[in-house]
Amino acid sequence: MDITVTVLDRKGVRHPLQAPTDMNMNMMELCRSYELPVEGTCGGMALCASCHLYVLSDHELPAPSDDELNMLDSAFFVQDNSRLGCQIKIVPELEGLEVELAPVGLVT
Amino acid sequence: MSSSTHDSNVLLPTATPPPSDATDAGQIDTDILIIGAGPVGLFAVFEAGLLKMRCHLVDVLPQVGGQLSEIYPKKPIYDIPGYPSVLAGDLVQNLMKQIEPFHPGFTLGERAEKLERLDDGRWQLSTERGSVLRAPVVFIAGGLGCFEPRKPPLANIERFEDRGVEYFVRNPELYRNKRVVIAGGGDSALDWSIFLADVADELTLVHRRTDFRGAPDSVEKVLELANAGRIKLITNAQVVGLHGTSVLQGVQIAQDNADAIDLDIDHFVPLFGLTPKLGPIAEWGLQIDKGAIEVNTFDYSTNVPGIFAVGDINTYPGKLKLILCGFHEATLACQSAFEFVFPGQKRSFKYTTVTGIEGISV
């Protein structure tokens, strides 16, 4: 079964994406598979924060692990709704999820 | 420094990298120079050894095993052929045992910095600590790349690097009687704040949140020092600006619930852990696509003759970042490496079941 999630990129463009729920995918992998600008350098081990995103919709996500919190603690541009895309599993409950890619690079 | 309680303590810089086996600044000559001592780099030693090629490995981390040792030594891996489950740390130990007959050399705790071609066609690699290594063949088995400090996204920060901005505390004496701002909330920021509170004239710790994720005893100690007035603690705050003429003279600190503060300081030490970057490898003239080295799947050679890239650091159509794929890549790369190490000689393919393992003496 596929769900639809929406990713707002760093230029403000909205990308509605079809996401399979039966392939053990996460949001980082989904963004990469649609060639959105998400590096996912560490391969999904909550180790690099290059998939940092903001959750815009009010979906209830599983609480972040210690590893994820540790990584978010050393990332930049962190907000209360910050998460690592690699730690968000795509499951049917996320139908309609909206996220925004966090900035990379310098403060302007 | 107190030891970290984090699983991911790789992310914490250490003050003094451990010495390598090549600190005498002597030059090392070998057949294959392997950059990266993770599982794929280690297994390359075995396959090279079967073809009588000697190897020397260089790694920025102080021990072998790469991510397996540093990040997830206690995690089971389920897709190593023949092992229903093996702990990452055990796999590294087994690989070390497997390559023992071939006596590989190691330069650990040093970052591969510069790669040049010598007049005789060989490659010369220099590390940032001055080791010089030479070989006709280079294997880049660098995995995620080097772990480099995560730099705060401040526009002019690079201008002040080593002019008041340092990402590691290399020599605490640098801060004696100076005004220092440390930023971060992890073990490294806490431990250095505690240590430098005694050394610096003024020590300010800036953290984005109110709570700290570091080791509880370090957190307690920092709060004690803050209460005693020896550390100035500014929470819910971030350094947002740096100023100075030729050297750093001050920082601007934005606070969530108060006005911004301008502080006159001598040093700013942002300690936000390390993040994997391709690092100096990106400057070696190799074809790079999205942070990975493009290779030919015939033998995992790069666009530069004599340089091969194996494991997570390479890319090609159909690439999978799996240890088992890296083993295969290293095996095929060794076949072509033979042509560089023993030009014009015939290579014979033998099964280990037939000939066993003939070690290499050094």
Q: How big is the A-B interface in CB pairs under 8 Å?
A: 63
- Please state the φ and ψ torsions of residue B255, each to the nearest 5 degrees: -115, 150
Length of chain A: 108
**Chosen from B156, B157, B212, B213 to mutate, greatest number of chain A CBs within 10 A:** B213
| Interface confidence (ipTM) of the complex | 0.82
pLDDT tens profile B37-77 = 999 999 999 999 999 999 999 998 889 999 898 878 888 99
Tokens (6 digits) for B334: 């060794």
Average pLDDT, chain A: 93
Rounded to whole angstroms, the Cα distance separating B319 from B312 reads 9
Question: In which element (H, E) is residue A66 found?
Answer: helix A66-73
* pLDDT for B51: 95
* pLDDT for A107: 53
At A47, the pLDDT band (50, 70, 90 cuts) reads confident
Tokens (6 digits) for A60: 């209830």
Rounded to whole angstroms, the Cα distance separating B180 from B186 reads 17
- The answer to whether residue B109 scores a pLDDT higher than 60 is yes
* pLDDT for B243: 96
pLDDT tens profile B273-305 = 888 888 899 999 999 988 899 999 999 999 999
pLDDT tens profile B263-276 = 999 999 999 988 88
* pLDDT for B180: 98
* pLDDT for B5: 34
* pLDDT for A43: 80
Closest chain A residue to the Cα of B152, Cα to Cα = A76
Q: How far is CA B190 from CA A14, A36, B196, in A?
A: 40, 36, 10
Would you say B293 and B23 are in contact if contact means Cβ atoms under 8 Å apart?
A: no
Would you say A73 and A95 are in contact if contact means Cβ atoms under 8 Å apart?
A: no
The shortest C-alpha distance from A105 to chain B (Å) reads 6
* pLDDT for B21: 45
Which region among A43-47, B20-24, B247-251, B284-288 has the lowest average model confidence (pLDDT)? B20-24
* pLDDT for B202: 97
- The answer to whether residue B208 scores a pLDDT higher than 50 is yes
* pLDDT for B1: 36
Residue B35: closest CA among B331, B330, B340, B295:
B330
Would you say A86 and A26 are in contact if contact means Cβ atoms under 8 Å apart?
A: yes
Would you say A90 and A19 are in contact if contact means Cβ atoms under 8 Å apart?
A: yes
A76 chain-B contacts, CB cut-off 8 A: 150, 152-153, 272
At A102, the pLDDT band (50, 70, 90 cuts) reads very high
**Cβ within 8 Å, pair B186-A106:** no
Neighbours of B252 (CB within 10 A): 15
* pLDDT for B74: 86
At B3, the pLDDT band (50, 70, 90 cuts) reads very low
Strand partners, A8: A14, A100
Residue B107: closest CA among B29, B195, B212:
B29
Tokens (6 digits) for A96: 């309609």
**Cβ within 8 Å, pair B6-A39:** no
At A40, the pLDDT band (50, 70, 90 cuts) reads confident
Rounded to whole angstroms, the Cα distance separating B288 from B295 reads 9
Mean pLDDT confidence for B196-204: 97
A106 chain-B contacts, CB cut-off 8 A: 153-155
Sheet holding B314-315, edge to edge: B288-289, B292-294, B314-315
Neighbours of B75 (CB within 10 A): 12
B240 in reach of chain A (CB within 8 A): yes
At A106, the pLDDT band (50, 70, 90 cuts) reads low
* pLDDT for B94: 98
Q: How many CA within 13 A on the CB side of residue B51?
A: 26
Under DSSP, is residue B79 helix (H, G, I), strand (E, B) or coil?
coil
Please tell me which of the candidates A42, A67, A105 has its beta carbon nearest to residue B144: A42
Residue whose pair of structure tokens reads 């649609």 in the numeric block: A34
Q: How far is CA B22 from CA A91, B101, B109, B127, B131, in A?
A: 51, 21, 10, 11, 7
Mean pLDDT confidence for B181-210: 95
Average pLDDT, chain B: 90
**Chosen from A24, A35, A47, A66 to mutate, greatest number of chain B CBs within 10 A:** A47
Rounded to whole angstroms, the Cα distance separating A81 from A101 reads 12
Rounded to whole angstroms, the Cα distance separating A51 from A60 reads 19
Q: Is B3 left (phi over 0), alpha (psi -120 to 50) or beta?
A: beta
* pLDDT for B146: 83
**CA B293, B297, B303, B307 torsion-angle sign:** positive
Q: How far is CA B219 from CA A65, A77, B226, in A?
A: 20, 23, 11
Which region among A68-72, B223-227, B341-345 has the lowest average model confidence (pLDDT)? A68-72
Higher-confidence residue of A73 and A82: namely A82
> Cβ contacts of residue B63 below 8 Å, gap of 6+?
B69, B70, B108
Give me the DSSP letters along B4-55: P--TTGGGS--SSPPP-TTTT--EEE-SEEEE--SHHHHHHHHHHHHTT--E
Which region among A83-87, B16-20, B289-293 has the lowest average model confidence (pLDDT)? B16-20
The model's pTM: 0.74
Q: Which amino acid appears at position A27 of this protein? A: M
Closest chain B residue to the Cα of A38, Cα to Cα = B290
The shortest C-alpha distance from A16 to chain B (Å) reads 24
The shortest C-alpha distance from A15 to chain B (Å) reads 21
- The answer to whether residue B11 scores a pLDDT higher than 80 is no
- The answer to whether residue B2 scores a pLDDT higher than 70 is no
* pLDDT for B25: 52
